[in-house]
Structure 1
Amino acid sequence: MGQDEGDPIIVTGEGLPLPPGTPAYGAVTIDRDRLTDSAAGRIEDILADVAGFQQFRRSDSRSANPSAQGATLRALGGNASSRTLVLLDGVPQADPFFGYIPYSALAPERLSEARITRGGGTGAFGAGAVAGTIELASAGRAQLPTVAASAFYGSRDATELSAAITPDLGEGFVTVSGRWDRGDGFYTTPADQRVAASARARYESWSAGLRAGAPVAPGLEVQFRGLVFGDDRTLRFAGADSHSEGQDASIRLVSRGRWQVDLLAYVQARNFSNVVISATSFRKTLDQRNTPSTGYGGKIELRPPVGRRHLLRIGADARLADGEMFEDGFNATTGNVTVRRNAGGEQATFGLFVEDDWTIGRLVLTGGARLDHWSIDGGFLTERNAAGVLTVDGRFADRDGWRPSFRAGGLLNLSSAVALRGAGYTGFRLPTLNELYRPFTVFPVTTRANAALGLERLKGVEAGVDLMPFSGVTLAATAFYNRLEGAIANVTIGANLRERQNVDAVTAKGVELSANLRLGQIIASASYAYSHSRVDAPGEAFDGLIPAQTPSHAASATLGWRPAPGWDFSGTIRYVGRQFEDDRETDALKDALTVDAVARMPLGKGAFLVGRAENLFDAAIITRNVAGSIDLGTPRTLWVGIKVER
């Protein structure tokens, strides 16, 4: 696996290079300049540059309930779990119990790029990538200054502090970083619906990271990443507080020699708590006081030398998760405990994968397959009344099985300006422990868990064209058809009562357009997605309707001007179309158009003055609508601050 002894030792802190067939799947890359130059300074806001990216709700990681912050693409939404595989340096980021993404802990300034691939995937950890894959890569020594720091002050007494130090360490490097932000928040409740118990969406989050890379031999390096974080938020009413926390660690060995190797192992410890307040009595109705969970796993990927025309990838991976929740239900009138609930379980996937990219002149063919063994074990749900008497003792049967997945694609470079591509794929996702075992309430609606949920199974095809009519300008268009069979949805079964169920399918077809321009001092990008997404559920009231929380139209455009080194002015406009709160299309969330702006000017000696404006024209963003009871998203928010890079 080594190189010649005279070769220089270079530590990149990165994984292996992308296979040549990657463009066949229409990946979109967000570079570091954009990651570090957004109005909100939050990763979920930046990912929205790629039209079609969505969370369950429109709120960001300051005013949303964390458990609702999954990630999905291509209008395959409908519940809060992630249908998109989110990786950081190759490590899955979804919470082991809930499936949500800890966005507040993924600080954009720590990253070098984000690559978004829509559609099913194989490769490492491909199980779960039914809507696509978002690959986040940490910045290495080449992208990071030795010292970087920023301090911002914003509307509603908001503060954002960030710092990192990245010294060389022998022939390697180490990065120690931290971020803390807080704010008094805004009223998510419209003024005409507020009551004495209404509270601002206060938030406070912090994270600290350690990352290091060191050479083991020429062409062989070891990488370590550690992260600890905490996040506290208040939602809608005084006392409706949530807390999430995590501790993550991973170690990676990368060989760039003749036999290329990527070996990775990781462990995650997470916890979540949440208090639900009645919208009528304003007393506590539910205390989700403890939800400990653990995720761990790893992969090995080998790239044997099989000639210059082929890049062969062979590997295996494993993901395991266990968790349980402890919660107490209360009488909304008396405040007395009515039920104490404990539920949890374990699940695992073990996969083998192989993929080959074959270059034949201007044509690149790529194809891959996975075979996964999955299991769901130890599921249980117990309930006790206020006196401690056991009233429910549910023990659910263990389940397991095998599931193959495939994908294939082609990229034909007709010229340096025109490329055609096409791909087809399958995939699957296990229901999360949360979907299987944990009921929840967003007053007045209660949603039941369902321990009998089956797998979600994807089939999809797409075709596209990439154009570069002249230097600095790229255009792309993709048409797609995806069918998610057994899609897990929150299905209405009674008045203010829903249950998680597998519906026959969700079908989504549509078009995605993107454009990028770099001409001298001008930088611009734009993205648009139209999705015709429908639920196939013969005999059900929602058959043929749009999945909950799924817009048909989404668009984003950013225009930047850099008149001189260190100077930067940019504006971003985003549009999200009308969508529905529920599966019956009863309550609508009207469309929203927002404008953001960022300005930066140099002060000398690596210091910059920065101004940021979110939702500049203070558009009303409806994030929840239950029979006219409304929640709103982030209003106009202004920031001013200093950045230092040396």
Structure 2
Amino acid sequence: MTIQARMAHDRIRYLASTSLVIAAAIVSTVPAHAENAGDTPSSPIVVTGRGLEESPATPAYDVERIDRDQIVTSASGRIEDVLSSIAGFQQFRRSDSRSSNPSAQGVTLRALGGNASSRTLVLLDGVPVANPFFGYIPLSALTPDRLASIRVTRGGGAGAFGTGAVSGTIELTSAGPRDMGPLQALALVNDRGETQTSATLAPNLGAGFLVASVQWDRGQGFWTTPGSQRVDASSRAAYDSWSASLRGVAPLNDTVELQASAMAYDDRRTLRFKGADSTSSGQQASLRLVGRGDWQFDVLGYVQAQDFSNVVISSTRFVKALDQAKTPTTTVGGKFELRPPVGDAHVLRMGADIRLTQGRLLEMPYSTFTGARTAIRRAGGDQSDVGFYVEDDWTLGNLVLTAGGRADRWTIRNGFYREITPGGAVNEDTAFADRSGWTGNVRGGFVWHPSNTVSLRAAAYTGMRMPTLNELYRPFVVFPVVTQANAALKLEKLRGYEVGVDTRPFEALTLSLTAFDNKLKNAIANVTLSDDGNLRQRQNVDAIRARGLEASAALDLGQVQFDGSLSWTDSEVQASGIQADLDGMRPSQVPKLAASGTIAWLPKPGWRIAATVRHVGRQFEDDQQTQALPAFTTLDAYMKVPVMPLVSVVLRGENLTDETIITRDQAGSIDLGTPRTVWAGLRVGFR
């Protein structure tokens, strides 16, 4: 472990222990009801554990919400499965977080994919969770059982940490005792003998609460390699992951609350071959003050340490070809947002945020003939972003107008790539030039309610994303394809428009339709350079343009519920010069059509019987559209049946029709997604 990473670990342990002790002490000493000087009882202090309420103009943008009942009842129990119910959500690859390489877990919206870095900002209680070096999301650490709600906003963001939101923002909000009760536990086993267990303790303490949670998933995994391509070295996609979190929320007075959180996780996987092991681990801690008085404010500070390792096994000789020994990354950040009292018709948001990141890579290639280490490589750099934003919502009767802007000062510094031989001779030692600059982004729109049943909305926005340290400085190999880094990558810049209508023709039915046009300039893609397709480089193409429709429907008839979504997108690369062959092609890994629908039956209190059909259209593995990944349609199911006052039997089924899901096709070398999988177990819950 580097000195910097060790210091970050020490900071996290200190911050987590100190902040949670403070929160627990406050919780234990603040009474459930505050009294004034005359001993007249006042209203109870209500502690939410959440940020400030959304503004009136939030519906001007294309927003969807997922409530807790949907979050905790997916067939797989994985967060990516839950998010797949949102039209336009996709990962870089079709694999879930048990059977993919963690570095491929980039998420995006609006068909703006093309590489493994996330173009969507993912926040957990206001804290960005993406790995800053690679841009992937640690999906296995984001346990659905810990969440109260999810809000997905498509399109560029201009609020806090908005530089990462070129395709949208996914905001995860943690649950408290009011959402889950004081105790819950889950234990499941599937037909391959794999297990999923979790437990959460959430007591109310005084006027506040604590939430302690742990989850452990492990199993031998399924065969990702087709039977006809397996060799003696082939391996199931074994996985062993755990995550733990501790959160304390306490009032400081009747309008201000303190939120202190800490989380740690570790995820180990094997992909395709014996010894092809990867690890993803991290620790983070945060302190947050939320004020809901006349002068509302949200102050957040956090620190993170993440690491990644990966062993590459040769697909021809089945011995170690590369050991990515460690990739320690540390981040310190925070935000301050103020909402001054400017009248009932206005909600004014002003704020600033900062992120400081340092990432380093150590890897060692090996000869597949002798087994000897052939070199030692180090790469990395530092990045920073300081942003200032302001946004105003103005309510004029049935019309709400919104406009906002954001200015960012960004830096990319201390970039380097070094390679030496085992004997110490220098093969390459490159220090890359520092870069910095200012960028500005804006967004605005309106939502008009011509009647109680119809809302019309329109919005326009711009956005920006910095290239990750991985894209800038780290070459990689997925044999036989070599992908080169590019330290000269430009910032991605978004321009987008959208119009939509939301309607509730009767109380039980909600419908939504959005048309959008997004253009991502300087889009970073893995561009093929050689005729045989085995040499690629990360480059800025002129643009990725995505135009399409997103639709959703929700029906609630009490005992019968339905939720559905559909995304149809015409997405194409705009390229010129040496990239002209890509012009007009669809970006890699982007389907034209994706849809899902879930119907649920709730015959009695505590019961839930549901089925989900999901369809993903054809995608291309590469930028040249030479390797197509066929469309697939899956059927999932979920059943929860109470058998005792506090105990329910849970049955879950993934891909019940055993549809073949091809997640990678490199010149005929194929990886497969989740086959038919059936789970059974018990859920214990105290309400």
Q: TM-score scaled by structure 1?
A: 0.99
Partner of 1:77: 113
Question: Structure 1: which amino acid aligns with 2:564?
Answer: A
Partner of 1:610: 650
Task: Find the aligned partners of 1:574 and 1:339 in 2 and give their Cα distance.
Answer: 46
Paired residue secondary structure (1:461): strand
Task: Find the aligned partners of 1:365 and 1:225 in 2 and give their Cα distance.
Answer: 35
Counterpart pick for 1:243 among 241, 258, 279: 279
Is the aligned partner of 1:485 residue 2:521?
yes
Task: Find the aligned partners of 1:488 and 1:4 in 2 and give their Cα distance.
Answer: 58
Is the aligned partner of 1:570 residue 2:606?
no
Partner of 2:674: 634
Query: What is the CA-CA distance between 1:8 and the residue it aligns to?
Result: 2.7
Query: What is the CA-CA distance between 1:7 and the residue it aligns to?
Result: 4.0
Counterpart pick for 1:268 among 291, 300, 304: 304
Partner of 2:553: 515
Partner of 1:582: 622
Query: What is the CA-CA distance between 1:384 and the residue it aligns to?
Result: 0.7
Counterpart pick for 1:186 among 222, 225, 245: 222
Q: Any conservation in 1 of the 2:214–2:242 contact (CA below 8 Å)?
A: yes
Task: Find the aligned partners of 1:403 and 1:4 in 2 and give their Cα distance.
Answer: 50
Is the aligned partner of 1:409 residue 2:449?
no
Task: Find the aligned partners of 2:207 and 2:150 in 1 and give their Cα distance.
Answer: 27
Partner of 2:53: 17
Write out aligned runs for 1:237-316 (5 A). Answer: 237-316=273-352
Partner of 1:620: 660
Query: What is the CA-CA distance between 1:386 and the residue it aligns to?
Result: 3.0
Partner of 1:60: 96
Partner of 1:535: 573
Q: Any conservation in 1 of the 2:176–2:202 contact (CA below 8 Å)?
A: no
Partner of 1:224: 260
Task: Find the aligned partners of 1:303 and 1:125 in 2 and give their Cα distance.
Answer: 17
C-alpha distance after superposition, 1:125-184 (max 9, x if no partner): 111100000000001231121110010011211100000101112211001100001011
Q: Any conservation in 1 of the 2:337–2:351 contact (CA below 8 Å)?
A: yes
Paired residue secondary structure (1:142): helix
Task: Find the aligned partners of 1:281 and 1:41 in 2 and give their Cα distance.
Answer: 37
Partner of 1:430: 466
C-alpha distance after superposition, 1:480-526 (max 9, x if no partner): 00000000000001130100001100000000010001012011010
Paired residue secondary structure (1:11): coil
C-alpha distance after superposition, 1:272-324 (max 9, x if no partner): 00000111000111100010001110000000000111000000000111110
Counterpart pick for 1:87 among 120, 123, 126: 123
Query: What is the CA-CA distance between 1:630 and the residue it aligns to?
Result: 0.4
Counterpart pick for 2:78 among 26, 42, 46: 42
Q: Any conservation in 2 of the 1:407–1:426 contact (CA below 8 Å)?
A: yes
Counterpart pick for 1:213 among 249, 270, 277: 249
Partner of 1:202: 238
Is the aligned partner of 1:601 residue 2:641?
yes
Question: Structure 1: which amino acid aligns with 2:662?
Answer: I
Question: Structure 2: which amino acid aligns with 1:545?
Answer: M
Paired residue secondary structure (2:595): strand
Task: Find the aligned partners of 2:438 and 2:35 in 1 and give their Cα distance.
Answer: 43
Counterpart pick for 2:44 among 2, 5, 8: 8
Partner of 2:197: 161
Paired residue secondary structure (1:491): strand
Question: Structure 1: which amino acid aligns with 2:277?
Answer: D
Paired residue secondary structure (1:324): strand
Task: Find the aligned partners of 2:599 and 2:315 in 1 and give their Cα distance.
Answer: 43
Paired residue secondary structure (1:469): strand
Counterpart pick for 1:125 among 150, 156, 161: 161
Counterpart pick for 1:504 among 542, 545, 548: 542
Task: Find the aligned partners of 1:389 and 1:30 in 2 and give their Cα distance.
Answer: 56
Partner of 2:27: none
Task: Find the aligned partners of 1:146 and 1:7 in 2 and give their Cα distance.
Answer: 24
Task: Find the aligned partners of 1:108 and 1:439 in 2 and give their Cα distance.
Answer: 34
Task: Find the aligned partners of 2:63 and 2:571 in 1 and give their Cα distance.
Answer: 21
C-alpha distance after superposition, 1:552-579 (max 9, x if no partner): 0000100000011011100001000001
Q: Any conservation in 1 of the 2:155–2:165 contact (CA below 8 Å)?
A: yes
C-alpha distance after superposition, 1:399-420 (max 9, x if no partner): 0000001000100001111110
Partner of 1:327: 363
Task: Find the aligned partners of 1:599 and 1:214 in 2 and give their Cα distance.
Answer: 36
Q: TM-score scaled by structure 2?
A: 0.93
Query: What is the CA-CA distance between 1:603 and the residue it aligns to?
Result: 1.1
Task: Find the aligned partners of 2:96 and 2:201 in 1 and give their Cα distance.
Answer: 28
Partner of 1:134: 170
Task: Find the aligned partners of 1:388 and 1:60 in 2 and give their Cα distance.
Answer: 41
Size of the aligned set, in residue pairs, is: 644
Shift in alpha-carbon separation, 1:80–1:574, aligned structure 2, 3 A:
same
C-alpha distance after superposition, 1:221-277 (max 9, x if no partner): 000111000000000000000011000101100000010010000111000000001
| Residue segments in structure 2 that go unaligned for 5+ positions in a row | 1-33, 37-41
Task: Find the aligned partners of 1:244 and 1:22 in 2 and give their Cα distance.
Answer: 35
Question: Structure 2: which amino acid aligns with 1:537?
Answer: A
Partner of 1:449: 485
Shift in alpha-carbon separation, 1:76–1:4, aligned structure 2, 3 A:
farther
Query: More deviation in 139-148 or 628-637?
Result: 139-148
Counterpart pick for 2:597 among 554, 557, 569: 557
Partner of 2:512: 476
Question: Structure 1: which amino acid aligns with 2:398?
Answer: R
Task: Find the aligned partners of 1:628 and 1:307 in 2 and give their Cα distance.
Answer: 64
Partner of 1:526: 564
Q: Any conservation in 2 of the 1:14–1:140 contact (CA below 8 Å)?
A: no
Q: How many percent of aligned residue pairs carry the same amino acid?
A: 57
Q: Any conservation in 2 of the 1:167–1:173 contact (CA below 8 Å)?
A: yes
Question: Structure 2: which amino acid aligns with 1:599?
Answer: M
Task: Find the aligned partners of 1:435 and 1:227 in 2 and give their Cα distance.
Answer: 27
Q: Any conservation in 2 of the 1:12–1:142 contact (CA below 8 Å)?
A: no
C-alpha distance after superposition, 1:92-112 (max 9, x if no partner): 010021110000000000000
Query: What is the CA-CA distance between 1:212 and the residue it aligns to?
Result: 0.8
Question: Structure 1: which amino acid aligns with 2:358?
Answer: D
Question: Structure 1: which amino acid aligns with 2:69?
Answer: D
Shift in alpha-carbon separation, 1:4–1:467, aligned structure 2, 3 A:
farther
Paired residue secondary structure (1:67): helix
Give the root-mean-square deviation of aligned CA atoms. Answer: 0.9
Task: Find the aligned partners of 1:516 and 1:180 in 2 and give their Cα distance.
Answer: 33
Task: Find the aligned partners of 1:75 and 1:224 in 2 and give their Cα distance.
Answer: 36
C-alpha distance after superposition, 1:339-372 (max 9, x if no partner): 2100000001100000011110000111110000
Task: Find the aligned partners of 2:424 and 2:673 in 1 and give their Cα distance.
Answer: 41
Paired residue secondary structure (1:44): helix
Q: Any conservation in 2 of the 1:12–1:141 contact (CA below 8 Å)?
A: no
Paired residue secondary structure (1:45): helix
| Residue segments in structure 1 that go unaligned for 5+ positions in a row | none
Question: Structure 1: which amino acid aligns with 2:121?
Answer: L
Question: Structure 2: which amino acid aligns with 1:614?
Answer: E
Partner of 2:502: 466
C-alpha distance after superposition, 1:319-340 (max 9, x if no partner): 1111100000111222221221
